[in-house]
Chains A and B, each alone.
Chain A
Amino acid sequence: MRLLIYIARRLLLLIPTLLGVTIVCFSLVRVLPGNPAYFILGPYATEEDIEQVKTELGLDKPLYQQYVIYLNDILHGDLGYAWHTSQPVADDLKQRFPLSIELATIALIITLIVGVPLGVVSAVKRGSWVDNVARVLAVTGVSMPMFWTGLVLIYFFFFRLRWAPPPMGVLDVLMERPPTVTGMILVDSIIAGNWETFGSAISHLILPAITLALPMIGSITRMTRSSMAEVLHSDYVRTATAFGLPRRTVIYRDALQNALLPVVTMIGVLYGFALGGTVLIEMIFGLTGMGSYSFGSIMNMDYAGVQGAVLMVAVIFVMINLLVDILYAFIDPRISYG
């Protein structure tokens, strides 16, 4: 019950943040120098089109009125029209977003599966060769730009070894998509019971997901290690040891449970990083998600597309952070829901 009140409170607090986000997105086009009508219509617009859009958007009106119009449009699901796809931006995003979410989620799962145990072992066996290797890997991981790592992986695993499929699309060329339910190819494949598309999608997504995961593994390993090292030196871990609890219990119950708390808060940050990374990754691996959509919009000077994508990512990011906070409140008894 108190948790529910807490969630409700957090949702309320979300409103000003989301308003701020819309103001930023609005400002990107309207306040910064440049002609919004031009931004919206793209470089091939005629004079009349531009004039028409200007009156439609009410660009002659004061800024705050323009903002109200913009906000009203957003609330009605109208994110503008993307001329480079000849579709409403909202429709584009609906088609493109699931893949990016899927990619970011897989990358996050890989990150947690690899990074957390690595950090724990590293902290527990401090100074051992495992620790040293983990530390080198971690600092190298966070130092690699993923738009480069991705290319290196493609070069080796596709061009040289031919183990990976060509970096084009999420399925093999002639394969048909399973019926769209969620828009996420893996989930849809499972729903349709189509293991062929599932396998193909996995083989297309694994390299981009690893590329995206590498720097995140680095940072979560570092985070887990330092958090775990600190907890292992804490008074309560010493108490547990002093009272003769088996070392396994002390490490994997007392220490780990506490050490993971700050790691949980990292998940939101990492998800944001992963969403940002999809722009680079999708472009490299020829995946048609939100990232490559943003990229395409930028290349075509289609600002409505960029603006819509940025807004959408920010909203998702804010939501993820909210979920993480709630999860945190749920697992840390010290958080008062007040």
Chain B
Amino acid sequence: MTTMDDAAPADTGRSWWGARLWGRLEYPAYIIRRNPVTLFGFSVIVLLVIIALAAPLIATHDPLAVSPANALEPPSRQALFGTDQYGRDVFSRIIYATRLDLFIALTSVGLAFAVGTVLGALAGYFAGLADNLLMRLVDVIMAFPPFILAMGTAAALGAGTANIIYVVALIQAPIYVRLARGEILSAKERPYAEAAHTMGNSPLQVIFIHLLPNCVPVLLVQVAVNLSWAILNAAGLSFIGLGVRPPTPEWGGMINEGMAFMLSGHWWLFFFPGLAIVITILAFNLLADGLRDVFDPRLRW
């Protein structure tokens, strides 16, 4: 059956990153506004960012303030989500942890995106030996189950926020390498690439000004998906003691600490940080689904 207009990308040769990017993002922006589920996901993310930025204003207590007298209090009006074994306010800790978890997710995905896309684009454009080596490296990284590789590397690097970021970026970068490489490989064949080249642009200009901006939408869906994985993996690493060190509040670490008190009935210690993770990841997934809807309408969810 004939389908509707296949929305062929407008292959005009405007050469401004900003203008081109906006040209490609206008439609997604429109979809986000129209589709209620996507809009919900997007709003939750905006809300989370606001919470992260305004953590000191929203938190009711100092997240690190210990108060043994108030230890293990169940949720109440004073302590919305109860208090932990040191009497610290769980709600305030979760609010502050939003900062850290979002920061880790954004920086690790940003790092993976930047490094992966650039390497993939260069490899796709120039091909040859370096491309071959890079792809073998990608194969090897992908030969490991992601969390296992993250765990092994984190264990070698040692615990700590910065290391978590590197590790999570490491397991995600191959995806961007492959995506960007594939996109560039196919974009390279299109007439406008040839045109840009004969107009006297250097290869780097062709890649980064003319070709890459057209691939951004595809990569964008991946970014949304990966943000959710990043949070899962970072929290998971902290949960097994390889991530953020206590007492810094972090969702996975809080669940780990709370676990010991579950079987004495203090469920709020592990429950609420987990809920925060679920909500955050759900929001990113809904957003990713919405974006996928835009770029791949046949696989609509």
Residues of A within 8 A of B (CB): 16-18, 20-21, 23-25, 28-29, 32, 34, 39, 135, 139-140, 142-145, 147-149, 151-152, 154-155, 159, 222, 225-226, 229-230, 233, 238, 272-273, 275-277, 279-280, 283-284, 294-295, 297-299, 303, 306-307, 309-310, 313-314, 317-318, 321
Contact = CB atoms under 8 A, between A and B. Distances in A.
Interface string B227-255: 01000100110011110000000001001
Nearest to A144: B278
A96 to B, nearest CB: 14
Contacts of B149: 24, 310, 314
B274 A152 contact: yes
Contacts, number: 159
A313 B143 contact: no
Interface stretch (B20-28, B71-79, B263-271): B263-271
Contact of A152 (B147, B271, B289): B271
A34 B153 CA distance: 13
B9 interface: no
A147 B237 CA distance: 11
B253 to A, nearest CB: 11
A101 to B, nearest CB: 13
B148 A313 contact: yes
B147 A17 contact: no
A279 B298 contact: no
A24 B144 contact: yes
B228 A21 contact: no
Interface stretch (B61-69, B105-113, B115-123, B279-287): B279-287
Closest 8 CB pairs of A and B: A276-B147, A148-B274, A20-B140, A272-B145, A310-B152, A143-B282, A143-B281, A276-B145
A152 to B, nearest CB: 7
19 contacts: A17-B140, A17-B143, A20-B137, A28-B152, A32-B156, A32-B157, A139-B301, A143-B278, A145-B232, A145-B255, A151-B258, A155-B267, A229-B300, A273-B147, A276-B148, A279-B151, A294-B151, A298-B240, A314-B145
A147 B255 contact: yes
Contact of A155 (B137, B153, B236, B262): B262
- Where chain A touches its partner, the secondary structure class is helix
A29 B155 CA distance: 10
A275 to B, nearest CB: 5
Interface in B5-58: none
B143 A314 contact: yes
Contacts of A32: 156-157
Contact of A298 (B145, B155, B298): B155
B143 A154 contact: no
Contact of A23 (B140, B155, B258, B273): B140
Contacts of A298: 151, 155, 240-242
Contacts of A222: 301
B140 A21 contact: yes
B285 A139 contact: yes
Contacts of A238: 1
A279 B152 contact: no
A303 B156 contact: yes
Contacts of B148: 272, 275-276, 279, 294, 309-310, 313-314, 317
A18 B144 CA distance: 10
Given A139-B286, A148-B270, A284-B259, A230 B299 contact: yes
B277 interface: yes
A39 B139 CA distance: 27
B190 interface: no
A39 to B, nearest CB: 8
A317 B153 CA distance: 17
Contacts of A229: 298-300
